[in-house]
């Protein structure tokens, strides 16, 4: 059995699955249920200074559905904890005492002034929790008050607050990053420069999930009006994976521990975050949709895959795919493939034909009796036919071998790696030597 225990910036947990700072970790009752279900840790829902904030009293969530009302994404306009600071601190202390082997990290959001951090940090430390996560991410509500993503969008603020925290507590400091920026590397570098022990990302994406076309109000609607919320769930995973990878491969932040967040729904999602450089993952939406019981699938699935692949520990998985994340200009232009359709597997729906004929390269032929074939002379190997084919494995990409002729270009496939930087069409091409 693979070892799922993790040591993330000194915080130990029996598995790499933490519940993210969010409604599931709002209070003692939920967190105890999570730990009983088997979650490795929690990031307690964000604390602020008293007087505590209030939430809207109408709907807080909007949703995007896939087939069969499967939840693909949720957005929320819920703010940080709406309970007194003392209540939260007492509960954190009680739960940590009863579950010493689980990770409890406390999420914090207070005004961007040092006195505020100096006031709250010792109180949090007294609970015995394992670390703090600075919520620089929430895009709604708190950002209008100069907190949340309003801090996360200004690298100088990130660095400043991180420095204050490092100066005023011995607990590990994790900086949670907002994706609502143009280049995730700048806030990550700022966090590192401020002395942060790790970053966690992504927080939610600014969003409007839908508009009620009868009332013309965005959803969720509060008395006929809507406000942008934070989008999360499976739909945001590709955005999160890219941002995690960008930080992992940036020379300035390489090696900075990353807690991966954003649409982790199955063990496979988690493994992908780990491979792109995350040391652990945080989960929220999947738990909100299916309940805490999914932890059994997450643990069993990750463990089984690691056994199959011979990975003894989570740390061995972390960053495995990072060397393979590169810039476009370094992709091998001599790697040439052609689509191949397995006629026995084909069910003759013609989606590949419609997609290629209407929107790609007119590289699939269709006979009167609905046999679909690839026209090598036209196929650029774009992959769209595979993407739209409803039968897994029916269409595949075949790699042309050195010496083969690419019928589209008439050129013989070369064995040597060659990329854009040396391509003759590149005005800035360097001599290939």
Partner 1 sequence: MTNSPRTPGVVSGRLSDEALAQNFSDLHPPYDGHEAMVAADRCYFCHDAPCVTACPTTIDIPLFIRQIQAGSPEGAAKTILDQNILGGMCARVCPTETLCEEACVREAAEGKPVEIGRLQRHATDSLMAKGIHPYDRAEATGKRVAVVGAGPAGLACAHRLAMKGHDVVLFDARPKPGGLNEYGIASYKTVGGFAQAEVDWLMQIGGIETVYDHRLGEGDLTLTGLAETYDAVFLGIGLAGVNALSAPGTETDNVLDAVGFIADLRQADDLSSLSVGRSVVVIGGGMTAVDAAVQSKLLGADEVTMVYRRDRAAMAASGFEQDLAASKGVRLMFNAQPVAVHGNGAVREVEFEHTESGPEGLSGTGETFRIAADQVFLAIGQTLEGAPEGLEIERGKIKVDPSGRTSLAKVWAGGDCATGGDDLTVTAVAEGRDAAEDIHQTLTA
Could you give the CA distance from residue 364 to residue 379 in angstroms, rounded to a whole number? Answer: 8
Q: Which region among 203-211, 241-249, 252-260, 350-358 touches partner 1 (by CB under 8 A)?
A: 350-358
Among 208, 349, 375, 380, binds partner 1 (CB under 8 A): 349
State yes or no: residue 374 binds partner 1 (CB under 8 A).
no
> CA geometry: angle at 75 spanning 70 and 76, to 5°?
130
**Four-residue CA torsion sign, 152, 156, 157, 160:** positive
Could you give the CA distance from residue 290 to residue 248 in angstroms, rounded to a whole number? Answer: 30
Is 352 an active-site residue? no
Given 138, 352, 379, 385, the catalytic residue: 138
**Smallest separation, CB 357 to partner 1 (Å):** 8
In order of 151, 169, 189, 263, 365, the CA distances from 256 in angstroms are 20, 20, 9, 22, 50
Among 351, 361, 407, 408, binds partner 1 (CB under 8 A): 351
State yes or no: residue 393 binds partner 1 (CB under 8 A).
no
State yes or no: residue 371 binds partner 1 (CB under 8 A).
no
Q: Which region among 32-40, 65-73, 276-284, 425-433 touches partner 1 (by CB under 8 A)?
A: 65-73
**Smallest separation, CB 358 to partner 1 (Å):** 9
State yes or no: residue 292 binds partner 1 (CB under 8 A).
no
State yes or no: residue 72 binds partner 1 (CB under 8 A).
no
Q: Which region among 175-183, 218-226, 342-350, 397-405 touches partner 1 (by CB under 8 A)?
A: 342-350
**Smallest separation, CB 356 to partner 1 (Å):** 10
Among 72, 239, 322, 366, binds partner 1 (CB under 8 A): 366
Q: Which region among 41-49, 200-208, 273-281, 343-351 touches partner 1 (by CB under 8 A)?
A: 343-351
Contact 216, 191 (CB under 8 A): no
Could you give the CA distance from residue 370 to residue 353 in angstroms, rounded to a whole number? Answer: 10
Nearer to partner 1, 174 or 346 (CB): 346
Among 391, 405, 429, 432, binds partner 1 (CB under 8 A): 391
Could you give the CA distance from residue 21 to residue 262 in angstroms, rounded to a whole number? Answer: 12
Among 1, 54, 67, 428, binds partner 1 (CB under 8 A): 67
Among 1, 51, 54, 68, binds partner 1 (CB under 8 A): 68
Total residues at interface with partner 1 (CB under 8 A): 14
Among 256, 353, 385, 395, binds partner 1 (CB under 8 A): 353
Give the interface with partner 1 as residue ranges (CB under 8 A): 67-69, 347-351, 353-354, 366, 370, 390-391
Residues annotated as part of the active site? 138
């Amino acid at each position: 059995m693979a070892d799922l225990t993790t040591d993330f910036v000194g915080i130990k947990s029996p598995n790499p699955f933490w519940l993210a700072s969010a409604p599931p970790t709002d209070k003692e009752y939920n967190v105890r249920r999570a730990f009983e279900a088997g979650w490795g840790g929690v990031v307690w829902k964000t604390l602020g200074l008293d007087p505590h904030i209030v939430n809207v009293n109408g709907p807080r969530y909007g949703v995007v559905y896939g087939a069969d009302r499967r939840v693909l994404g949720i957005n929320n306009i819920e703010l940080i904890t709406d309970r007194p600071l003392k209540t939260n601190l007492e509960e954190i202390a009680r739960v940590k005492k009863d579950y010493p082997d689980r990770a409890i990290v406390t999420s914090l959001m207070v005004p961007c002034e040092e006195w505020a951090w100096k006031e709250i940090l010792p109180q949090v430390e007294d609970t015995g929790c394992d670390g703090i996560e600075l919520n620089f991410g929430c895009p709604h509500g708190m950002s209008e008050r100069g907190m949340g993503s309003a801090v996360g969008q200004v690298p100088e603020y990130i660095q400043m607050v991180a420095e204050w925290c490092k100066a005023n507590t011995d607990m590990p400091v994790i900086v949670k990053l907002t994706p609502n920026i143009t280049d995730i590397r700048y806030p990550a570098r700022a966090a590192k420069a401020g002395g942060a022990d790790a970053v966690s990302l992504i927080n939610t994406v600014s969003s409007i999930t839908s508009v009620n076309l009868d009332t013309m109000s965005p959803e969720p609607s509060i008395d006929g009006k809507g406000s942008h919320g934070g989008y999360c769930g499976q739909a945001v995973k590709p955005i999160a994976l890219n941002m995690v990878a960008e930080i992992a491969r940036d020379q300035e932040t390489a090696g900075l521990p990353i807690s991966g967040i954003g649409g982790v729904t199955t063990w496979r999602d988690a493994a992908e975050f780990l491979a792109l450089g995350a040391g652990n993952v945080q989960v929220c939406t999947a738990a909100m949709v299916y309940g805490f019981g999914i932890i059994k699938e997450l643990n069993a699935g990750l463990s089984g895959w690691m056994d199959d692949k011979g990975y003894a520990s989570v740390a061995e998985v972390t960053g495995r795919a990072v060397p393979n994340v590169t810039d476009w200009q370094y992709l091998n232009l001599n790697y040439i493939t052609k689509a191949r359709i397995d006629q026995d597997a084909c069910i003759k729906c013609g989606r590949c034909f419609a997609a290629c004929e209407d929107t790609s390269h007119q590289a699939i032929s269709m006979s009167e009796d609905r046999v679909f074939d690839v026209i090598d002379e036209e196929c650029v190997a774009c992959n769209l036919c595979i993407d739209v084919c409803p039968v897994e494995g029916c269409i595949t990409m075949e790699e042309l071998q050195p010496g083969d002729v690419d019928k589209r270009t008439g050129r013989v496939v070369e064995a040597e790696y060659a990329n854009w930087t040396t391509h003759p069409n590149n005005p800035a091409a360097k001599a290939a030597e």
